[in-house]
Amino acid sequence: MNTEKILRLFKKGDASLAATLRRLKDLPYKDMGFARIDNHRCLRRGFPEVIFGKGKTAGDIARIAGKMISREGVLLVTHAEKAAYLKLKRAFPGVKYEERAKLIYLARRERSSAPDKGMVLIVTAGTSDIPVALEARVTLEVMGDKVETLFDVGVAGLHRLLDKRRLLEKAAVIIVVAGMEGALASVVSGLVSKPVVAVPTSVGYGASFKGIAPLLTMLNSCSPGVAVVNIDNGFGAGYFASMINR
């Protein structure tokens, strides 16, 4: 619950002074001892803090996530194992898990997306890039964006991409997810007038250096209007695309 909602509840008489003070006490962050939840993140960035699950125990994730759900009504946990999801779901049955992308999430029942908000298209070079693309897709959906996908249209068979020109033109922002040599981002950017967010993946043989090769290709793109996020960072791409779309 953000500051505005807290004050509106008090003004309407739906919350006592004591309850209002308790809620305001947790601003700007909630100190849990082992973690400090940034309760002002939504005010600054338009979306609550996202939990990075790797390195945290299932219990830690459940405790932090429970506080965030109770306050914000929305949740996104990246790089989370299924054990954390199962533990959290016992307390919050509405929570969902995207297994291939390792995401725990809960979207708001009422989407805040404006009617005129554009569509974000996620394009992958191959099917092996789909887990990273799914991370971007869930991130966008939880943030209230309209999303479509176009999978397995890499440069080894360029006719598959050219056949979908109408879909490319329909998008407001395009996320391109590619491993191997990472050339697809430049190709897509050269075909459209939309901003492109490029995501290098760790998919590829030895000389791709676990994503370094596509990362460098994307950074050296000769097509203007391409922004590049870190290797396998579908979340970062989805978040950035949502901010552009907003």
Whether the per-residue pLDDT at 114 is higher than 60: the answer is no
Does residue 97 sit in the same domain as residue 34? yes
Does residue 128 sit in the same domain as residue 212? yes
For 59-82, write each residue's pLDDT tens digit: 899 989 888 887 788 899 999 999
For 170-225, write each residue's pLDDT tens digit: 999 999 999 999 999 999 999 999 999 999 999 999 999 999 999 999 999 999 99
Reading the block at residue 80, the tokens are 């989370």
Could you tell me if 68 and 76 are in contact, meaning their C-beta atoms sit under 8 angstroms apart? Answer: no
Reading the block at residue 213, the tokens are 């090769």
pLDDT value, residue 26 = 63
User: CA–CA distance from 153 to each of 123, 175, 191, 197, 233 (Å)?
Assistant: 7, 13, 14, 16, 20
Does residue 131 sit in the same domain as residue 228? yes
Reading the block at residue 124, the tokens are 């992958």
Could you tell me if 211 and 201 are in contact, meaning their C-beta atoms sit under 8 angstroms apart? Answer: yes
- Identify the domain boundary among 73, 106, 139: 106
Strands 96-98 and 75-78: unpaired
Query: Any idea what the CATH number is for the domain that residue 217 is in?
Result: 3.40.50.1970
pLDDT value, residue 131 = 96
Across the range 122-133, mean pLDDT stands at: 97
- Identify the domain boundary among 106, 141, 164: 106
Better-predicted residue by pLDDT, 37 or 155: 155
Range name among 38-52, 142-156, 229-243 with the lowest pLDDT average: 38-52
Does residue 136 sit in the same domain as residue 227? yes
For 86-97, write each residue's pLDDT tens digit: 988 888 889 999
Contacts of 18 (CB under 8 A, 6+ apart): none
Does residue 81 sit in the same domain as residue 174? no
Peptide bond into 214 cis (omega under 30): no
Tell me, yes or no, whether 113 lies in a domain.
Answer: no
Could you tell me if 82 and 60 are in contact, meaning their C-beta atoms sit under 8 angstroms apart? Answer: no
Tell me, yes or no, whether 112 lies in a domain.
Answer: no
- Identify the domain boundary among 106, 135, 167: 106
Whether the per-residue pLDDT at 110 is higher than 60: the answer is no
Rounded to whole angstroms, the Cα distance separating 241 from 239 reads 6
Tell me, yes or no, whether 26 lies in a domain.
Answer: yes
pLDDT value, residue 31 = 63
Whether the per-residue pLDDT at 2 is higher than 70: the answer is no
Whether the per-residue pLDDT at 146 is higher than 80: the answer is yes
| Total tally of structural domains belonging to the chain | 2
Does residue 187 sit in the same domain as residue 231? yes
> Which structural domain, as residue segments, surrounds residue 80?
3-106
